[in-house]
Amino acid sequence: MASITIRNLDGAIKEKLRLRAAAHGRSMEEEVRLVLGELGDPLPSPSWGGTERSDGEGSFLTLHKDPSLLLRSLPPHEGEGKGSALSGRRILLIIGAGIAAYKCLDLIRRLRERGAQVRPVLTKAAEEFVTPLAVGALAADKVFTELFSREDEHDVGHIRLSREADLIVVAPATADLMAKMATGLANDLASAILLATDKRVLIAPAMNPRMWGHPATKRNRAMLEKDGIRFVGPNKGEMAESGESGDGRMAEPLEIVGAIEKLLDRSPKPLTGKTIVMTSGPTHEPIDPVRYIANRSSGKQGHAIAAALARLGATVRLVSGPVTIPDPEDVAVIHVSTAREMRDAVEQLLPADAAIMVAAVADWRTANEAGEKIKKKPGEKAPVLQMIENPDILAGVGHSKSRPRLVIGFAAETQDLLANAQRKLDKKGADWIVANDVSHATGVMGGDRNAVRIVTRSGVEEWPDMSKEKVAERLAAKIAAALQTVEV
């Protein structure tokens, strides 16, 4: 039997062949013959994309056109991609113009070995860093580069490219691509897809540390985060330019794969199918058009709990007062200002499986909000603000007809912590009160740590001082356990 030597094939195809051949206990040549036989064409024909010639040492297969055809013809070998969150998922990978683009070749391999389909899009400038041939061969798909390609628009089109994906990944996301995304530019295929998509988008920024630290990039980043764009990296480390180091290295391919797996994970979680309504942050109660009454709540604890519940699979609807922190990941957020707006939003969101009211709602508001700015007049006394009580949102939920199975309130106290918390259980119709000491010295209000006690009708659990993130995780786990039991 004449041996087949495959020249000019991309290393990835050879690697794939090697793996398949090893798995089947065959030589690579035998494997190629088998694959070609499966295609109904024992020897490559020009229409397949290759030609065969012999120079006495054996047959040479030279691919002219699209090496991905060979890769595509290779079914995944046994076990490949099975059981992975990525199995069968479609990832549209936009490769930006940065030196880190070379890592995308490995990224594509890692995604494909987990069973994902990767459809690559290269920006024009990215072609200076990686070739469409290499990208296409590894992805086993056509590489899209042009916005106004008659062939591609007819064939797929940029709208369909985004619609047909489960997730869009931008790697490397250059400062330029981030700026285009933040401002909604759509003057090339990559940016047009990003503007047209309704799918989730994960970006892996990569740029010089000074570009990453520039106020413009910081603004763009904040805007993108607000728009729900997910980030992986960048990491700190050496840059490609000699002597440069800092924040801006693109995340490693396996880190990006991890972030993608997290986003596409559909495995059932402890709170899958459960809906949880939450409040967080302070409220602002207007005195006049420019002044308001507020408190020091940062929203950190409530937002962290919302994120932790979402990570456990809950559908979390969060009503947030005015805060400066970003919306928690995977949480639908309604932004309000006053206690009355917060109450109305919460009422709209019931029924739910649980309600967790973390907001530091102002207990009072001014009785008569001035329509115009209150002016200081010479000789006149300081104005006296008349206050009236705000609606108690937690009590409203706790005693409502559509009361959730589990109702949790918070008690921020500066004295008699436990006695006050216990009183609130009944007064507010809550199942648990999470009590914390917010005396100035504790630094809890606005800080990053918290020491809480969980007060229920069956007793008090005292948790040690820990980060608000940890409190959130522990509380989310306790909530999951409670919602899994028949009776709370």
Q: Which residues are catalytic?
A: 295
Q: Is 302 left (phi over 0), alpha (psi -120 to 50) or beta?
A: alpha
- Binding flag, residue 390, ligand C5P (CB under 6 A): yes
Question: Rounded CA gap, 411 and 395, in Å?
Answer: 13
Nearer Cβ to ligand C5P (96/299): 299
- Binding flag, residue 301, ligand C5P (CB under 6 A): no
Q: Is 285 helix (H, G, I), strand (E, B) or coil?
A: strand
Q: With CB under 6 A, what is the number of residues at the site for ligand C5P?
A: 15
Nearer Cβ to ligand C5P (389/448): 389
Instruction: Tell me the one-letter amino acid at 484.
Output: Q
List 21, 304, 310, 359, residue binding ligand C5P (CB under 6 A): 359
Residue 417 CB, shortest distance to ligand C5P, in Å, is: 11
- Binding flag, residue 107, ligand C5P (CB under 6 A): no
Tokens of 36: 């070609």
Nearer Cβ to ligand C5P (13/276): 276
CA angle 335, 449, 412 (to 5 degrees): 65
- Binding flag, residue 336, ligand C5P (CB under 6 A): no
- Binding flag, residue 95, ligand C5P (CB under 6 A): no
List 361, 417, 435, 483, residue binding ligand C5P (CB under 6 A): 361
Nearer Cβ to ligand C5P (145/301): 301
Q: In the chain, what is the straight-line distance between the N-terminal and C-terminal CA atoms, in Å?
A: 73
- Binding flag, residue 454, ligand C5P (CB under 6 A): no
- Binding flag, residue 145, ligand C5P (CB under 6 A): no
- Binding flag, residue 315, ligand C5P (CB under 6 A): no
Residue 141 CB, shortest distance to ligand C5P, in Å, is: 51
Which of 267-273's residues contact partners 24+ apart within 8 Å by CB, and which partners? Answer: 267/85, 268/313, 269/311, 269/312, 269/313, 270/312, 270/313, 270/477, 270/480, 270/481, 270/484, 271/309, 271/312, 271/313, 271/314, 271/476, 271/479, 271/480, 271/483, 272/313, 272/314, 273/313
List 172, 253, 281, 409, residue binding ligand C5P (CB under 6 A): 409
Q: How far is CA 240 from the centre of its chain?
A: 28
Nearer Cβ to ligand C5P (201/434): 434
Instruction: Residue 94: name the closest of 162, 5, 179 by CA.
Output: 162
Residue 392 CB, shortest distance to ligand C5P, in Å, is: 4
List 143, 169, 206, 357, residue binding ligand C5P (CB under 6 A): 357
DSSP state of 353: S
Given a contact cutoff of 8 angstroms between Cβ atoms, the answer to whether 318 and 333 are in contact is: yes
Given a contact cutoff of 8 angstroms between Cβ atoms, the answer to whether 2 and 54 are in contact is: yes
Nearer Cβ to ligand C5P (114/428): 428
Residues that bind ligand C5P (CB under 6 A): 279, 339, 357-359, 361, 363, 390, 392-394, 409-411, 424
